[in-house]
A and B are shown apart, each in its own frame.
Chain A
Amino acid sequence: MAGGYTGKILRIDLTNKSVSTLDSEKYQEYGGGHGMGSAVFWDLCEDKTVSGFDPKNVVTIMASPFSGTLVPAASGRTEVQGIGVQGYPIEYFTRSNFGGRFCGHMKWAGWDGFTVEGAADEPVWIDIRNGEVEFKSAEGLWGLDAVEAQEEIWRIVQNGEEKEWRELGKERTTQRPAVLTIGKAGETLSRTAALIHDAGNGAGQGGFGGVFGAKNLKAISVLGTGSVEIADPKALMDARLWSMEYAVAGHLDEDYTPLGMGSMFGGAPASGAAGYGPADQPKSPIGCLGCHKNCRARFASAASNGSSCVDYFFYHVYDQAAHGSYTQHILDATEALQRYGINSYQAEGAIIWLNNLHKEGILGPGLEIDTALDFNQLGTAEFAKQFLDMMANGYDVGEALHEGVAYAAEKWGRYEQDTASGILPLQCHGYVQHYDARTEVEWGYGSLVGDRDINEHDFNTLVFWAPSISALFGAQPACSADQLAEIMGEKLSPYNDPMMMDYSDEGIYSESMAKLVAWHRHYTRYYKQSLALCDWAWGDFFNEYGPEGRGMTGEGEPKFYKAVTGIDQSFEEGMEVGRKIWNLDRAIWILQGRDRELEVFTDYNYEVGAVPGYTTYEVPYVVPMYKDGQWVYESAVGRMLDRDKVEEWKTKFYTLEGWDPATGWPTRATLEELGLSHVADDLEAAGKLGS
């Protein structure tokens, strides 16, 4: 057994209230996390075309070999997969993950992952303490919000001994159990529902909270007192200390200038919550297990503890507009979001859309879409709570929005027109636009050829935020466009093509852009979602603290992998594992109905120019471009995508991936090259193998 693994996956059968174990060793070639989850899902979910709400849906909740170890920004992330309920028009097999400490306790309890199968006949929660698993009635928990439910489970498991060493078998612990739960939105089977853990950790995309609700599963609690075996402990400690030199954590005694920083790994404590809430409200950092960065915050009011970025973004602009600055209202609104257990992206997209409809005189008291919401109160915590209550409980506008914004738009007969104008910012597959496909194309393309908004920031900070924010302040980004191209040419193995950074009008349709998107798909599937490196820290390309501005990516990933597992795997070998996982996922989507024709953006992407603040972000779009033989940062504002050129790009991408350009389906040769001949067999039997 390699270091970092326990060797066992816990299978939880809710229908029969029974458990069994699965040997995880045969899945270790996928790394862990997502790869392991996809492979297990492939084997256990017999009918991959069922609804996400169907008891036959199999949910996997996976740790990685890095979970519960000292690998920076990797120890605390848990991967969740299964058939989601937010995908539109198909409920695609999808993924989400969350931070905190849940996966650490999974490992210390002796498990590499959980599967959740079937459905209980009454609400239950699952109490896991090391190898002991109990199904317990959730009668006393059903109806509690996501915070109350956790605190109640803490009380039950700790038996009142909050600070003492408590015995668990032969071992002892002072720790609270780690709980993954749903709030009201999950209980009512909303497609917008998230899974919530501790404070501010949520798996929102995909709507797995609603899937838990359909399975009558309120919560899973896990408390582990064991250890994670480390192949080379000394090397792991050395690597951790080496990595800290690449982060603010290693430079707290020095001056800190946020403007111009481009490194996600190098980010600062509490930076994910920086600036939200009253300026004079004291706060301190909150970190996920083993994190070197600790990007979230604990506030003096305790409201919205642990939340970050988009948890606030669903409402912060309205608070600012109403009150002139960020106030307690945004903290209280975000706290409500967490307690209801609602996916923040769904809430964000819904409020943008409703506000646009209100401005157009379509939605409001007594209007075509009648609502009790008083938009004069937009920006107050009271408005947010009323709106979230509607979403969670399915009344007023929430009757439709309970199903998520895409299905709500269909119900109101507005999907086509509102995604054409863009007042409903759904980018593709029913997911709310996060970053603009017209400007930051690697984000849009990645979502288009996948299952959901990718939410992978590897390039985002360097190609968008750093140059755009710098432009706003009249400063130069810390990493010049020249240097960016040079570094990416070095680090984006196996392609090593500097032109992958060309976001010009020509570059976004190029072969090089196809390589960038492919690299991104393969890297994230393995290193970030299977080994569980946090999206808010990795990949580390440019780093102001690194030698000549070089980050750790390419060197750091294999270093940590070898220290923990003892396996000497090159960076490129890991990328191949990512390609294998990516193709396995692709096969599942194809069985669900995916083909080339379904991989199109909504109309606004082709028909309306990108304008700052048009959909979700207010910041100008300045991106790297190669023009007249030089690398520059220039604005891409006003750009819209060309339908024909996007189609040409898709052909380039499919060809690069070894897929049939006519359908987007993988060929047998591609799948067999990756050791997925059994997947090729199943696609062929379904008549969906590429040629």
Chain B
Amino acid sequence: MADNDIKTTEGQGYSRRQFLIGAGGVGIGALAGGFMVKSFFLPDSVFAVPASEGYLVVDTHKCAGCASCMLACSLVHSGETSLSLSRIQVINNVFAAYGEEDSVVQEQCRQCPHPYCAEACPTGAMHADPDNGNVRTVDQAKCIGCERCIEACPFTPSRVQWDPKKRKAQKCDLCKDTPYMTEEGGVGGQQACVAVCPTRAISFVSDIPAQTDTGYQVNLRDDNVAWALLGLPTEDDGSYAPVATAAPAPTGH
């Protein structure tokens, strides 16, 4: 999966595989989850924080690239619609084939078990929020705009982003701080991108999916009754459950 392209910088000295091993270390987070502390250092100086209690997963086989999630994200957080202010980024190559790598990718924060963004923050602004299921988020009052968190994010593009008006970092908070959304957000609440996605390509889950060198795979197609009826693939190999499609929909031409 394209959005698992991990940066490998000489100074930081971690590799893609090393990161994935770290990211796979859900146990660290799980262990720490009961301590209600924002972060701590294990004996071997590994920075660790409690595991997030929620994650967004995306089925890129369903994504239509409409960017409704991006518009909703910026709308409920900032009160305006903007792709640049969206905490989830969809990069769509409309000329690429179905199934082709990078044809359409959704770049959402993974709420990493080992959040390098939080580790890099010199003020504690980037932290796991114990009042919101340990989601990794930015305390804007503490953010000094140094951008170290943006640089530290191992993904490309960085899941931590820059708000040019506030001159501070921002990132996905699972919709906890959404002054422009009627429903309550955050863990246990509504996520704007999930609610608005017209193909149900985004889902909130409590457990991070298993990851490999090629990313993670989620299939949000096979539980959609209508998906196969529409003749759209339900399986990762492009096939779909053998459901007879009825007459063409009487829509206009």
In chain B, what residue has the closest Cβ to A238?
B182
Residues of A within 8 A of B (CB): 68-70, 75, 101, 104, 108, 147, 150-151, 162-165, 170-176, 198-200, 225-230, 233-234, 236-238, 240-241, 244, 247-249, 251-262, 264, 267-272, 274-275, 279, 282-295, 298-302, 305-306, 309-310, 313, 457, 460-461, 465-466, 468-470, 472-473, 536, 617
Contacts A247-B198, A294-B198: A174 and B91 contacting too (C-beta < 8 A)?
yes
Question: Which residues of the partner chain B approach A472 to less than 8 Å between Cβ atoms?
Answer: 247
Main secondary structure of the interface of B (DSSP, over half): loop
List 7 A-B residue pairs with CB atoms under 8 Å apart, sorted by A's residue number. A165-B157, A233-B80, A244-B198, A255-B229, A256-B226, A283-B98, A305-B97
**B44 proximal to A (CB < 8 A):** no
**B203 proximal to A (CB < 8 A):** no
Question: Which residues of the partner chain A approach B253 to less than 8 Å between Cβ atoms?
Answer: 309-310, 313, 617
**B68 proximal to A (CB < 8 A):** yes
In chain A, what residue has the closest Cβ to B72?
A70
Q: What is the CB-to-nearest-CB distance from A1 to chain B, in angstroms, rounded to a whole number?
A: 13
Q: What is the CB-to-nearest-CB distance from B145 to chain A, in angstroms, rounded to a whole number?
A: 12
- State which of B64, B76, B226 has its C-beta within 8 Å of the C-beta of A285: B64
Q: What is the CB-to-nearest-CB distance from A320 to chain B, in angstroms, rounded to a whole number?
A: 13
Question: Which residues of the partner chain B approach A294 to less than 8 Å between Cβ atoms?
Answer: 64, 66, 198-199
B64/A264 in contact, CB under 8 A: no
In chain B, what residue has the closest Cβ to A619?
B250
**B41 proximal to A (CB < 8 A):** no
B71/A290 in contact, CB under 8 A: yes
B251/A465 in contact, CB under 8 A: yes
In chain A, what residue has the closest Cβ to B252?
A457
CB-defined interface of B106-124 with A at 8 Å, one 1/0 digit per residue? 0100000000000000000
- State which of B64, B84, B97 has its C-beta within 8 Å of the C-beta of A225: B84
A234/B182 in contact, CB under 8 A: yes
CB-defined interface of B72-113 with A at 8 Å, one 1/0 digit per residue? 101110111111110001011111111110111001000000
A290/B68 in contact, CB under 8 A: yes
Q: Could you tell me how many residues of chain B have their Cβ less than 8 Å away from some Cβ of chain A?
A: 75
Cα separation A173 to B70 with both chains bound (whole Å): 12
Cα separation A198 to B247 with both chains bound (whole Å): 30
Cα separation A515 to B64 with both chains bound (whole Å): 39
Q: What is the CB-to-nearest-CB distance from A545 to chain B, in angstroms, rounded to a whole number?
A: 12
Cα separation A294 to B233 with both chains bound (whole Å): 16
B98/A257 in contact, CB under 8 A: no
Q: Which stretch in B132-140, B158-166, B208-216 binds the other chain?
A: B158-166
A233/B76 in contact, CB under 8 A: yes
In chain A, what residue has the closest Cβ to B158?
A165
CB-defined interface of B54-68 with A at 8 Å, one 1/0 digit per residue? 000000011111111
Max count, chain A CB within 10 A of own CB: residue among B72, B96, B164, B249: B249
A104-B83, A286-B94, A305-B97 given; 13 more Cβ-contact pairs under 8 Å: A165-B157, A233-B76, A237-B76, A252-B224, A257-B246, A272-B251, A274-B248, A284-B232, A287-B68, A298-B98, A466-B250, A470-B250, A473-B247
A282/B239 in contact, CB under 8 A: yes
Cα separation A445 to B167 with both chains bound (whole Å): 57
A284/B98 in contact, CB under 8 A: yes
Question: Which residues of the partner chain A approach B233 to less than 8 Å between Cβ atoms?
Answer: 282-284
Question: Which residues of the partner chain A approach B46 to less than 8 Å between Cβ atoms?
Answer: none
Cα separation A536 to B253 with both chains bound (whole Å): 9
- Pick the 4 closest A-B CB pairs, nearest first: A287-B66, A282-B238, A457-B252, A465-B250
Cα separation A285 to B72 with both chains bound (whole Å): 19
Q: What is the CB-to-nearest-CB distance from A2 to chain B, in angstroms, rounded to a whole number?
A: 14
Cα separation A143 to B209 with both chains bound (whole Å): 48
**B227 proximal to A (CB < 8 A):** yes
In chain B, what residue has the closest Cβ to A271?
B249
Cα separation A341 to B182 with both chains bound (whole Å): 45
A69/B71 in contact, CB under 8 A: yes
Question: Which residues of the partner chain A approach B68 to less than 8 Å between Cβ atoms?
Answer: 70, 287, 290-292
- State which of B162, B192, B225 has its C-beta within 8 Å of the C-beta of A165: B162
